[in-house]
Amino acid sequence: MDSMESYSECLEFLLNNIQNILPRLINVQCSKFLQIDMCLDGISSLIVYGNDHIFLDTFVDMCICKHNQVQKISKKQTETHEFSDFHFAFDFSSDHFSENLNTIKSLAKTKSISGKPHIVHIKRINKAKCRLLHGLIDNNNGNIIFIITTQKLMDIDDRLNSRSFKINLSFPKQNIIKFCENDLPLEYNTSIFEDVFSLSRGNLISVILRLECENNVQFENVIYDFLDTLQNSKSFLTAISNTRNIVYKLYHMNIQFPYVCDLIIHKYKDSSKSQRIIECCAKYDHMMNTAYKDIFVYERFFLDILEIIKEKDTPVKRGRKKII
């Protein structure tokens, strides 16, 4: 059997069993990884990218089900698009692009019957068509959650890329084959998954989803690397994009906000800006513990920290010593 046939069989195995496998894999690390039922909380746009459209669509369907607390969605098809009671799906490579865009504009004006935002799944987009979505995403008043799936992240333009949260569902062919080659048993108990987790060198989520999430033990280095990247970023759009990605991980991995503050304060304890950083942490810690627990408060916190650490240090004036 050649590599491609083996890969196809492994992928089919994963897709056929994903409803059982995926939640279990995510829970291996005690919910330190992305929680599917929270994927769509507090965001206006999500980009999901990877090398297989079937897997991307399956993952999006799971997110929609979890978000609406249903087991399955019954899809219907019109001439121009797909829909259910909980979502709309549009293929932007079809000949019905104009009609689909007008439908999305109509959805942006009102919430769904349940009072929740409409979920709009957009497939096979390109940069030119991305630009037409900017106004809709920025000004839909929370009436739509956009999910964009693509096999090439380069098909998403920079502005949309920087304003959206991203999940990487790319998976290396050889890792998939290795994971499935022993015909993974369907008795989903903790010991089996711990064994598989160990055999895959502690990176099982990477094998299946490549979610780019780190566990709590590793997170100190992740935060420090992120702050260095933030400080050295020359483009504000790049800084925003990096910030959104780290915030998305923190939010879904249940990393406690005081823990993040402690790491930041420790990193800059010898800086002339340390007092301002402490004050910033205290301000947002208070907000997190009161009425503000939105994901965008977390984002605003990092952008305020960025503003502080990017400022040039004020030189300390030193007077001449008097000679007596």
Q: How confident is the model at residue 180 (pLDDT cuts 50, 70, 90)?
A: low
Helices (H), the chain: 3-16, 18-27, 53-68, 97-107, 127-131, 134-138, 158-163, 173-180, 190-199, 204-208, 219-232, 236-252, 257-267, 274-288, 295-310
Location of each CATH 1.20.272 domain in the chain: 216-310
Region(s) of the chain under CATH 3.40.50.300: 3-208
CB 231 within 8 A of CB 309: yes
Q: What pLDDT is recorded for position 149?
A: 93
Percent of the chain past pLDDT 90, that is, above it, reads 11
Phi and psi at 46, nearest 5°, equal: -130, 130
The CATH number for 3-208, chosen from 3.40.50.740, 3.30.230.80, 3.40.50.300, 3.40.50.970, is: 3.40.50.300
> Per CATH, the architecture of 216-310 is what?
Up-down Bundle (1.20)
| pLDDT score of 25 | 43
Flag whether pLDDT at 223 surpasses 50.
Answer: yes
Average pLDDT value for the chain: 72
pLDDT, position 59: 79
Higher pLDDT, 38 or 214: 38
